[in-house]
């Protein structure tokens, strides 16, 4: 069984081009994909909770789709935050966590296209 047919969270972070703090420090853009059959929104809310608690977030995008050949669906969302990645506590979600360095903004195409290619 391939990794895309299991419940999991795929994620990455990069420097935000749209957010800076008052001192001019760059914010962080987080990308998350939650794959599950029913509880995607709740899992996403738990994944971003540390960002909300420790400094707030700005929603960038949200896309949902079906994972080919399975009963699962995915929820892809991006957020900007001033909270450092070390503050995330994804291990507390009791899900398979998949770091994905290709889950990032692109100069050609869109990050949404990448997510669609993985799962559709």
8's tokens? 């999991």
Closest CA to 85 of 41, 42, 39, 28: 28
pLDDT tens by residue, the chain, 120 residues = 355 558 999 999 999 988 888 787 889 999 999 999 999 999 999 999 999 998 889 999 999 999 988 889 999 999 999 999 998 989 899 899 999 999 999 988 899 999 999 998
Q: What is the pLDDT of residues 3-22, one digit of tens each?
A: 555 899 999 999 998 888 87
User: pTM higher than 0.75 for the full model?
Assistant: yes
CA of 92: how far to CAs of 11, 87, 89, in Å? 15, 12, 6
End-to-end alpha carbon distance in the chain: 16
């Amino acid at each position: 069984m391939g990794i895309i047919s299991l419940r999991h969270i795929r994620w990455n972070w990069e420097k935000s081009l749209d957010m800076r703090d008052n001192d001019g420090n760059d914010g962080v853009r987080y990308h998350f994909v939650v794959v599950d059959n029913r509880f995607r929104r709740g899992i996403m809310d738990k994944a971003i909770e540390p960002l909300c608690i420790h400094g707030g977030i700005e929603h960038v995008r949200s896309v949902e789709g079906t994972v080919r050949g399975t009963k699962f669906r995915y929820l892809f969302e991006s957020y900007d935050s001033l909270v450092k990645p070390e503050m995330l506590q994804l291990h507390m979600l009791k899900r398979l966590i998949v770091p994905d360095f290709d889950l990032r903004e692109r100069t050609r195409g869109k990050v949404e296209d990448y997510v669609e290619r993985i799962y559709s």
